[in-house]
Amino acid sequence: MIDALEPCGRGVRPRADAPVTHVAQRLLGCSISHAGVTVRITETEAYGGADDPGAHTYRGRTARNASMFGPTGHAYVYFTYGMHHALNLVCAPVGTGHGVLIRAGEVVDGIDVARERRGSVADRDLARGPGRLAQALALTREHDGLSLEGPEPQLLLQAGAPVEVFSTGPRVGVSGPGGDGVAFPWRYWIPDDRYVSTYRPAKPRRARGEA
């Protein structure tokens, strides 16, 4: 099988011709670095653009999700729930709108810097969840569109040994198809890894006017 990652500057980036699910699986065990902190990736979620009702890009391009329609090897950073940011890596050809959410990981370098950013939390919780991970890496909307390319990229992805055994299941916080695990069981994680986030099913949305 062709590796879902390819060399890029000092590190690697997703291959544009690799299925988004393969990229999400291959990112497990890789490391992502920004602003003095490096995180080993333990959990990811794949999102498939116009074919995926759970994707931000399902209904087309907007000012918010424009980076997801760009070339592979860029970041899509969004603000959610009015509380935190989340990091996605764009993959697939330009205009496709595919990406992988980096859900959780372990801080393996720059742990003191991550502690300053995250406050008084256990080391296990420094990057265990997408909002925590983005905060540990100091990523905000101003970093939306960052490239993995170049001799000194601000955002650096480095390959780890492929994780041969991984678990898969429904994505977190996605209601309807994609969150129930029937059509899109596209969350991937390293089994028994203490740095994987806690799964929480999405809450059903109430119809307008429903009490």
Sketch out the chain's domains with CATH numbers.
5-189 (3.10.300.10)
Q: What is the pLDDT of residues 153-187, one digit of tens each?
A: 999 999 999 999 999 999 988 876 665 556 889 99
Q: Which has the higher per-residue pLDDT, 71 or 203?
A: 71
- If one compares 183 and 194, the residue with the highest pLDDT of the two is 194
pLDDT at 182: 64
Give the chain as a DSSP string. Answer: ---SEEEETTEEEE-TTS-HHHHHHHTTT-EEEETTEEEEEEEEEEEEGGG-TTSTTTT---TTTGGGGS-SSBEEEEEETTTEEEEEEEESSTTS-EEEEEEEEEEEE-HHHHHHHH-S--GGGSSBSHHHHHHHTT--GGGTT-BS-SSS-SSEEE-----SS-EEEPPTT--STTTSSSS---EEE-TT-TTSPPP-PPPPPPPTT--
In whole numbers, what is the pLDDT of the chain averaged over residues? Answer: 91
Please tell me the pTM assigned to this model: 0.92
Per-residue model confidence as pLDDT tens digits over 3-35: 999 999 899 999 999 999 999 999 999 999 999
